[in-house]
Chains A and B, each alone.
Chain A
Amino acid sequence: MTMLDVNGLNVWFGKNRDRVDAVKGASFQVGTGESFGLVGESGSGKSTILRAITGLAPDWSGIITVDGTPITGKKRPRGFFKTVQMVFQDPYASLHPRHSVDQVLGETLHLHGFDDIDGRVAKLLDDVGLGQKFRFRYPHQLSGGQRQRVAIARALAPEPTLLLLDEPTSALDVSVQAEILNLLADLRADRGLTYLMVSHDLSVIGHMCDRLAVMRNGEIVEILDVDALRASNAAHPYSQQLLEASL
């Protein structure tokens, strides 16, 4: 089963002399229940692929199929976000500063038409290891790791099957990163989630993913298994270079 199929994806920003081709002809498949990683340097287009899937990058061409349904244009149908959710890089920027945790989660559940919002908010907080005492706090009263847990809870609220993770731990300390990575691994095992994870840190991808694509200047240069990565069996010189730099 293929959860996500990206075929010949191009994404660009701007026009004329300021046009930037952020992604050029990217193709990959992610199976149901798989964890797939995208690595590359900044500006290589890895986050842009996630943004194109969710409709945050309006100018794109190619074929994207999510769970058997092709997606088109800028707008996504409402049901799309019940399947696909995203966790952003910076938990300091992705939460509304004047909404309490309860409002953030409650609003998401309300928009997706759930009933028993009260019970679901409580359950979500327990699932991400925060507990009830955090329910009426505001983002500035939380640490970076706790905020990222709230962002993960928000992404889990519509019960998605595909989670797009855009550098979920790069703004966090290593000790907190370990907690969040453990949480993400547990959630995937419990709920049978599919992950598409972007990171610049090859060891994080190596820890979390089954397969990965190496990107450079908007192109996928190589797709390989994590086992091959661990055995230093990268074929493309750029992947070898990345691998050397992170060992």
Chain B
Amino acid sequence: MYGTCDVSLLDVKNLWVKFPSRHGVFDAVRGVSFTLGRERLGIVGESGSGKSMTGRAILRLIRPPGIVEADHINLEGVDLLQKSEKDMRAVRGERISMVMQDPKFSLNPVMTIGDQIIEAYRLHSSASKAEAYTKSLEMLEAVSIRDPERVMRAYPHEMSGGMGQRIMIAMMLIPNPEILIADEPTSALDVSVQRQVLDIMDRLVKERGMGLIFISHDLNLVADFCDRVLIMYAGRIVEVCDADKLHDAQHPYTRGLLNSLPRLDAPRDRLEVLKRDPAWSDAESVSGRI
């Protein structure tokens, strides 16, 4: 654990994300509260549990007709919900950065990778093109891409999913943000590369005192990598625990998820299938505030 208690970087209280639809209002996130210190906070859950929506709501990336409501979303004491759209633009990228789920949709398909990284870098600093090029090569190497010169010349469709995601991470880290929201950053990567990418993020948390929100569906990874974990189901936090105690989790949903994983050391003929209880989604959200 790092110094989690001294200052909380981010304080979210009673966050709701609503989407009006023909069948009434759909609540994607329902009354979620948590704080983030200079730590690695994991959010786990299945698709549709509202974990990505939570990340997007913090950056105010949810477009109308979607509605975001909260008592407050404080970034070092300043409420992000009160900021104008212009002020928000200074927050996004510079202070809070986000790595999205799918590199296929977050990279520009008609620009070379090199041009995109250089553009992102020069937007946040006054470096010359040559400096930006060298820095971009450095960042690509830092996320362990072989042959970075060829990658700089290539277009996104020539990259595999794993390489695309590493390029995204390289781009997001260049402006040196205080908080990084990583939405399934390593789901497209293999175990060996995953480790390297996690090490890079780990180093940033340690050395620069960055706060990390790590959104993932991979329980083992989160248990391994994060300090604290929020488990979400149907828009609510059903359980909050220390990551190293995740395997002793009490909630039946968390237990069900853990049991449905195939394991090398414990072979079984059939995998356990999760049986859902409607009561899980009705229960009040657990607070993740310290």
Contacts and interface: CB of A to CB of B under 8 A. Distances in A.
Interface of A: 18, 40-43, 144, 170, 173-179, 181-182, 185, 200-204, 206-207, 229-230, 241-243, 245-247
A37 to B, nearest CB: 12
Given A175-B256, A178-B273, A178-B274, A41 B193 contact: yes
Contacts of A203: 261-264
Interface in B116-158: 150
A207 B257 CA distance: 17
B28 to A, nearest CB: 16
27 contacts: A41-B192, A41-B193, A43-B160, A173-B46, A173-B47, A173-B217, A174-B217, A174-B218, A175-B46, A175-B256, A175-B257, A178-B260, A178-B273, A178-B274, A182-B271, A185-B269, A200-B189, A200-B191, A203-B261, A203-B264, A206-B264, A207-B262, A207-B268, A241-B192, A242-B192, A245-B192, A247-B264
B267 interface: yes
Given A41-B193, A242-B192, A18 B150 contact: yes
Interface residues of B, number: 35
Interface of A is mostly: helix
A206 B262 contact: yes
Contacts of A178: 260-262, 271-274
Contact of B188 (A42, A179, A207): A42
A246 B264 contact: yes
A224 to B, nearest CB: 13
A41 B193 CA distance: 8
Nearest to A169: B262
B265 interface: yes
Interface string B171-189: 0000000000000000111
Determine which residue in A42, A173, A207 has the highest number of CB atoms from chain B within 10 A of its CB, and name it.
A42
Interface of B: 46-47, 150, 160-163, 187-195, 217-219, 256-257, 260-265, 267-274
Determine which residue in B194, B261, B262, B274 has the highest number of CB atoms from chain A within 10 A of its CB, and name it.
B262
Contact of B260 (A174, A201, A206): A174
Contacts of B271: 178, 181-182, 207
- A-B pairs with lowest CB-CB distance, top 10: A42-B162, A207-B262, A178-B271, A41-B190, A175-B274, A245-B191, A178-B260, A173-B46, A200-B190, A42-B160
B265 A247 contact: yes
B109 to A, nearest CB: 15
Contacts of B263: 203
A23 B52 CA distance: 36
Nearest to B261: A174
A236 to B, nearest CB: 14
B55 to A, nearest CB: 17
Contacts of A176: 46
Contacts of A204: 262
Contacts of A229: 264
A221 B267 CA distance: 25
A176 B257 CA distance: 10
A176 B191 CA distance: 21
A181 B271 CA distance: 8
B229 to A, nearest CB: 15
B156 to A, nearest CB: 15
B261 A41 contact: no
Contacts of A175: 46, 256-257, 260, 273-274
Nearest to B256: A175
A202 B195 contact: no
